[in-house]
A and B are shown apart, each in its own frame.
Chain A
Amino acid sequence: MLLTHPLGNLRHESQMRLHEYQAKDVFADAGIPTPPSALATTVDEVVEQAEEIGYPVAVKAQVHVGGRGKAGGIKLAEDATEAREAAEDILGMDLKGYTVDKVLVEGAVDFVNELYVGVTMDRGEGKPVAMVSTQGGVNIEEVAEENPDAIAREHIDPAFGMHPYQARKVVYDAGVPAEVARDVASILTTLYDLWEDTDASDAEINPLMITGDDEVIAADAVLNIDEDALFRHPDLAEMEDEAAGDDLEAKANEYGFDYVRLDGNVGIIGNGAGLVMTTLDLVDYYGGKPANFLDIGGGAKAERVANALDMVFSDENVDAVVFNIFGGITRGDEVAKGINEALEQFDEIPKEVVVRLAGTNAEEGREILNDELVTVEETLEGAVQRAVEYAEDAE
């Protein structure tokens, strides 16, 4: 699954995101306290589960979007009528482009305080970092931006793992109330071990609720797994939700492309994230609007190239396509073969395709390319300008 980096980083940095209910199972198995909960896919099931758990309950949409609560994806229910209403509202709703087809019914926690607890990789330091804040429950990213000191951080030596004193230190630094400090430190230690054991990129609890009886309960759970490490975790890989995202993203998943859909009309295919991003930038520079980011990666064979064209043609917003290949490990003749194969299937090519081949076997590629089907350009600038023109003409 492809995750857009919060900074818009399009480079390969893929994670597999678990749903809250899946992450909670993993957390609970590791010994982190979670509220009683059950998954439901119909309104009747929601009411049934709510009765069993006991009111009040929270009904929570299980989709991969942030800010579910604000968007109406989480509702509290005090009784069966409210549970039914919440289920009817949430099941089937469109949440930022995702249709909700399952909800978590969960015992509501009566809390006096909310914490944030998280473990992630600090890429700048090249080390894991454990974080705790007493300003949990709200948008922690806003806290990080506006008041970074409100989040205590402790870097961890990846060879040793987190020592107990480090967990205590970050908990004390954050100002966690003394009554629960030990329990929170213990949860943080467990969270770190779990982060390491699952090859996670992020493991977070927000909020970690403190009750009036000084109990500490994970009311949410985030677990994102480094996709590159999934070979070590077949059990987690099975949890991948293929249905998530729109049809194009699902298709990209199937083909194994790094793909991001954008709102323009110039389709872009290239090899290598840096070069593809540069192609996007050039389309913008010459007055066009990129429709997507699609990196076919290194060493692509003809079939993969054909799949890439199929992807971009499937986006109805696309009016023209620019294919930008600078071969190193990728061979120009293989790319040309793939383009021909893909286009020869059509009686009429659906959109204009501009191809620019450079690097390894580029000349061989240009000789093979069927120039009745595509426009061949020698330079990157020329190719981008031509595609922008075609897109304008087609509008």
Chain B
Amino acid sequence: MSILVDEDTRVVVQGITGGEGKFHTEQMIEYGTNIVAGTSPGKGGQEVAGVPVYDTVEEAVDEEDADASVVFVPPAFAADAIFEALDTDLDLVVAITEGIPTQDMAKVNKRLKEVDTRLQGPNCPGIITPGEAKLGILPGNIFSEGNVGLVSRSGTLTYQVVDSLTERGIGQTTAIGIGGDPIIGTSFIDALEEFEQDEETDVIAMCGEIGGEDEEEAAAYIAENMDTPVVGFIAGRTAPPGKRMGHAGAIVSGSGTGTAESKIDALNDAGVPVGDTPEEVADHVEDLL
């Protein structure tokens, strides 16, 4: 079982004719993902890796009945591509692109509240349901089917934890990289909520990092709403306190949150064991299964 994507998910790749788009389309197809269309303005009618290319997302959705998209469009045009996807009735849009201007994402964030589509990312590795489908750039071979859900702000850290789990014979339901940008579509809480409703997910591993307050908010959510046990990890315990330099971003919320200590304390208070190392995360998961 899985959340958000499975073998029936019909995927359109936005930016399919670009280098990254083409390469990862091939990788996704090889993994078994049901890629039904690609888009690239002005390249409608072509084919990439046997997949029909359309000029617009709307056309791709109408013609191929797609219900999810994955965005490989370069940063300067990525927000526009996300807006385009949000104007169709896709269930899920996964934005891989790194380096989208923050003000663009604030506008996307506003639009997101007006539609039913879920956005994941940007600047994320994607989502994978082992053995069924992957949308994004995750290395499929390290994942295995099982009953642990994963959600992480960091791509490579996700791989590290998954590797430790798979090594011990512990498989995964779905792994979601939510991305580390200041403004993202799917939050920890959104992902936890989905996992809580998934009967096949028995334990959830949640990998956070310093900065922002998402982990603190997730901890409060877990304490109040979740029965599925969660194991935590926070990267950046040794990060030095930065140079304070008249930075308005620092005064928005006063202070006291955002540090590794604050996040670990919040998770512990919510009954979530936090591993000191990725191996310890796997230990905790093993104990809870």
Q: Is B276 an interface residue (CB 8 A)?
A: yes
Please tell me which one of the listed residues B211, B248, B279 contacts residue A120 in the complex, with CB atoms under 8 A apart: B248
Q: Are A277 and B212 in contact (CB under 8 A)?
A: no
Mask, A197-227, CB within 8 Å of B = 1, is: 0010111101000000000000000101010
Q: Are B154 and A140 in contact (CB under 8 A)?
A: no
Mask, B60-76, CB within 8 Å of A = 1, is: 00000000000000011
B contact patch SS: loop
Q: Is B115 an interface residue (CB 8 A)?
A: no
Q: Which of B35-43, B93-101, B223-231 binds A?
A: B93-101
Nearest chain A CB to B44 CB, angstrom units: 27
Please tell me which one of the listed residues B20, B239, B250 contacts residue A277 in the complex, with CB atoms under 8 A apart: B239
Q: Are B103 and A158 in contact (CB under 8 A)?
A: yes
Closest chain B residue, CB of each to CB of A6:
B250
Q: Which of A32-40, A101-109, A268-276, A365-373 binds B?
A: A268-276
Closest chain A residue, CB of each to CB of B276:
A285
| Contacts of B182-210 to chain A: CB distance below 8 A | 182-183, 207, 209-210
Q: How far apart sit A188 and B109, CA to CA, in the bound complex (Å)?
A: 24
Q: Is B45 an interface residue (CB 8 A)?
A: no
Q: How far apart sit A11 and B239, CA to CA, in the bound complex (Å)?
A: 10
Query: Which 8 residue pairs across A and B have the least CB separation, nearest first?
Result: A274-B154, A272-B156, A9-B211, A66-B245, A4-B242, A229-B101, A120-B248, A144-B251
Q: Which of B10-18, B48-56, B135-143, B265-273 binds A?
A: B135-143
Q: Are A13 and B159 in contact (CB under 8 A)?
A: no
Interface size (A, Cβ < 8 Å)? 81
Known: A143-B251, A159-B111, A280-B238. 4 other contacts (CB 8 A): A6-B250, A122-B252, A158-B107, A358-B163
Q: How far apart sit A142 and B275, CA to CA, in the bound complex (Å)?
A: 33
Tell me which residues across on chain B come within 8 A of A158, comparing CB atoms: 103, 106-107, 109-110
Q: Are A121 and B254 in contact (CB under 8 A)?
A: no
Q: Is B4 an interface residue (CB 8 A)?
A: no
Of the A-B pairs whose beta carbons lie under 8 Å apart in the complex, a sample of 15, sorted by A's number, is A6-B242, A8-B239, A9-B210, A12-B98, A12-B123, A126-B110, A129-B252, A141-B247, A204-B248, A228-B100, A271-B156, A273-B180, A274-B235, A358-B142, A358-B159
Q: Is A118 an interface residue (CB 8 A)?
A: yes
Q: Are A282 and B258 in contact (CB under 8 A)?
A: no
Q: Are A121 and B249 in contact (CB under 8 A)?
A: yes
B residues near A (Cβ < 8 Å) are 20, 75-76, 98-107, 109-111, 123, 125, 137-139, 142, 152-157, 159-160, 163, 180-183, 207, 209-213, 233, 235-256, 258-259, 276-279
Q: Are A121 and B235 in contact (CB under 8 A)?
A: no
Q: Are A8 and B183 in contact (CB under 8 A)?
A: no
Please tell me which one of the listed residues A6, A226, A229 contacts residue B247 in the complex, with CB atoms under 8 A apart: A6
Mask, A116-133, CB within 8 Å of B = 1, is: 001111111011110100
Nearest chain A CB to B261 CB, angstrom units: 11
Tell me which residues across on chain B come within 8 A of A179, comparing CB atoms: none
A residues near B (Cβ < 8 Å) are 3-13, 64-67, 96, 118-124, 126-129, 131, 140-141, 143-145, 148, 151, 153, 157-159, 196, 199, 201-204, 206, 222, 224, 226, 228-229, 231-232, 260, 262, 270-275, 277-278, 280-285, 290, 293, 298, 326-329, 358-360, 380-381
Number of A-B contacts (CB under 8 A): 249
Closest chain A residue, CB of each to CB of B159:
A326
Q: How far apart sit A126 and B105, CA to CA, in the bound complex (Å)?
A: 8
Q: Are A359 and B159 in contact (CB under 8 A)?
A: yes
Tell me which residues across on chain B come within 8 A of A126, comparing CB atoms: 105-106, 109-110, 183
Please tell me which one of the listed residues B102, B125, B250 contacts residue A228 in the complex, with CB atoms under 8 A apart: B102
Q: Are B236 and A326 in contact (CB under 8 A)?
A: no
Tell me which residues across on chain A come within 8 A of B249, comparing CB atoms: 5-6, 120-121, 123, 201-202
Please tell me which one of the listed residues A119, A202, A228, A283 contacts residue B75 in the complex, with CB atoms under 8 A apart: A228
Tell me which residues across on chain A come within 8 A of B245, comparing CB atoms: 3, 6, 64-66
Q: How far apart sit A129 and B99, CA to CA, in the bound complex (Å)?
A: 22
Q: Are B155 and A8 in contact (CB under 8 A)?
A: no
Q: How far apart sit A182 and B137, CA to CA, in the bound complex (Å)?
A: 52
Tell me which residues across on chain A come within 8 A of B211, comparing CB atoms: 5, 7, 9, 11, 13
Nearest chain B CB to A131 CB, angstrom units: 7
Nearest chain A CB to B225 CB, angstrom units: 19
Nearest chain B CB to A165 CB, angstrom units: 19
Tell me which residues across on chain B come within 8 A of A326, comparing CB atoms: 156, 159-160, 163
Closest chain A residue, CB of each to CB of B262:
A7
Q: Are B258 and A275 in contact (CB under 8 A)?
A: no
Q: How far apart sit A7 and B139, CA to CA, in the bound complex (Å)?
A: 31
Q: How far apart sit A100 and B109, CA to CA, in the bound complex (Å)?
A: 41
Q: How far apart sit A96 and B31, CA to CA, in the bound complex (Å)?
A: 52
Q: Are B235 and A278 in contact (CB under 8 A)?
A: yes
Nearest chain B CB to A278 CB, angstrom units: 5
Q: Are A141 and B125 in contact (CB under 8 A)?
A: no
Closest chain B residue, CB of each to CB of A196:
B103
Closest chain B residue, CB of each to CB of A202:
B248
Q: Are A9 and B236 in contact (CB under 8 A)?
A: yes
Tell me which residues across on chain B come within 8 A of A280, comparing CB atoms: 236, 238-239
Tell me which residues across on chain B come within 8 A of A145, comparing CB atoms: 254-256
Q: How far apart sit A388 and B249, CA to CA, in the bound complex (Å)?
A: 36
Q: How far apart sit A140 and B278, CA to CA, in the bound complex (Å)?
A: 38
Nearest chain A CB to B227 CB, angstrom units: 27
